[in-house]
Amino acid sequence: MKTDLNTIQNLILKAAENARRETADEPEPEKPKKSKWPIACTVGPGLEGAIACESKVGYVNGTKGWLVYRGYDIFDLCARSTFEEVSYLLLHGKMPNMAELTIFKEKLFNYTRINKVVRQLMGFPIEQMSVMGALRLGANLMRREYSDLDMASARPASFEAISSDEDSIAMETTPHGSNHATFEFKSRSNRKAAKSKRGFDKLSGLEDSYHLIAGISCIAAATSRLHNDKLPLEPQPDLSHAANLIYMITGKKPSPVEERVMDIALILHADHGMNASTFATMVVASTLADIYFSVGAGIAALSGPLHGGANEDVIRNLREIGSAKNVKPWVKKKLDQKKKVSGFGHRVYKAYDPRARILGPLAGLLLKEKPELNPLFEVAQELEKTVMDMFGKEKKIFPNVDFYSGLIYSSLGFDEELFTPMFAASRVSGWTARVLEYMEKNRIFRPRGLYTGEFNQMYVPIDQRK
Ligand code: SDX
Query: Measuring CA to CA, which residue among 164, 117, 160, 167 is closest to residue 139?
Result: 117
Mutate to test the pocket of ligand 1, among 314, 383, 400 (most ligand atoms within 8 A of CB): 400
Q: Whose CA is nearest to atom 5 of ligand 1?
A: 275
How many angstroms is it from 396 CA to the middle of ligand 1? 11
Q: Is 354 within 8 Å of 67 (Cβ atoms)?
A: yes
pLDDT of residue 456: 97
Q: Assess whether the C-beta atom of 75 lies below 6 angstroms from ligand 1.
A: no
Q: Which atom of ligand 1 is nearest to the CA of 338?
A: 50
How many angstroms is it from 292 CA to the middle of ligand 1? 29
Separation of alpha carbons 78 and 266, rounded Å: 9
How many angstroms is it from 387 CA to the middle of ligand 1? 13
How many angstroms is it from 296 CA to the middle of ligand 1? 24
pLDDT of residue 147: 47
Helix (H, G, I), strand (E, B) or coil at 304: coil
pLDDT of residue 131: 97
Q: Whose CA is nearest to atom 49 of ligand 1?
A: 340
Q: Which atom of ligand 1 is nearest to the CA of 272?
A: 8
Q: Work out the angle between the directed axes of helices 374-387 and 354-367 (0-180°, nearest 10).
A: 150
In a domain, 398, yes or no: yes
In a domain, 159, yes or no: no
Q: Whose CA is nearest to atom 15 of ligand 1?
A: 307
Separation of alpha carbons 82 and 239, rounded Å: 13
In a domain, 383, yes or no: yes
pLDDT of residue 177: 46
Q: Assess whether the C-beta atom of 310 lies below 6 angstroms from ligand 1.
A: yes
pLDDT of residue 207: 94
In a domain, 325, yes or no: yes
Number of domains forming the structure of the chain: 1
Helix (H, G, I), strand (E, B) or coil at 67: strand
Separation of alpha carbons 402 and 78, rounded Å: 17
pLDDT of residue 35: 80
Q: Whose CA is nearest to atom 56 of ligand 1?
A: 340
How many angstroms is it from 347 CA to the middle of ligand 1? 6
Residue from 76, 227, 307, 415 carrying the catalytic annotation: 307
Which stretches of 240-309 are DSSP H helices? 241-250, 256-268, 276-286, 291-302
Pairing of strands 72-73, 58-61: unpaired
Q: Is 376 within 8 Å of 410 (Cβ atoms)?
A: yes
Separation of alpha carbons 223 and 233, rounded Å: 11
How many angstroms is it from 44 CA to the middle of ligand 1? 15
346 is catalytic: yes
Q: Assess whether the C-beta atom of 345 lies below 6 angstroms from ligand 1.
A: yes
What CATH number is associated with residue 391?
1.10.230.10
What is the extent of the structural domain holding 358? 310-411
402 is catalytic: yes
Q: Whose CA is nearest to atom 8 of ligand 1?
A: 272
Residue from 271, 313, 346, 353 carrying the catalytic annotation: 346
In a domain, 104, yes or no: no
Helix (H, G, I), strand (E, B) or coil at 44: strand
Q: Whose CA is nearest to atom 54 of ligand 1?
A: 345
Q: Whose CA is nearest to atom 47 of ligand 1?
A: 395
Q: Assess whether the C-beta atom of 61 lies below 6 angstroms from ligand 1.
A: no
Q: Assess whether the C-beta atom of 400 lies below 6 angstroms from ligand 1.
A: yes
In a domain, 368, yes or no: yes
In a domain, 175, yes or no: no
290 is catalytic: no
- How would you write the pLDDT of the chain (466 residues) with one tens digit per residue? 567 899 999 999 999 999 999 999 999 888 877 788 999 999 999 999 999 999 999 999 999 999 999 999 999 999 999 999 999 999 999 999 999 999 999 999 999 988 889 999 999 999 999 999 999 999 999 985 334 444 444 444 544 444 434 443 444 344 444 444 333 333 333 333 334 433 467 778 999 999 999 999 999 999 999 999 999 999 999 999 999 999 999 999 999 999 999 999 999 999 999 999 999 999 999 999 999 999 999 999 999 999 999 999 999 999 999 999 999 999 999 999 999 999 999 999 999 999 999 999 999 999 988 888 899 999 999 999 999 999 999 999 999 999 999 999 999 999 999 999 999 999 999 999 999 999 999 999 999 999 999 999 999 999 999 9
In a domain, 363, yes or no: yes
Q: State the number of CA atoms in the 13 A half-sphere of 67 facing the CB.
A: 28
How many angstroms is it from 345 CA to the middle of ligand 1? 4
Q: What SS3 string covers 376-442?
A: HHHHHHHHHHHHHHHHHHHHCCCECHHHHHHHHHHHCCCCHHHHHHHHHHHHHHHHHHHHHHHHCCC
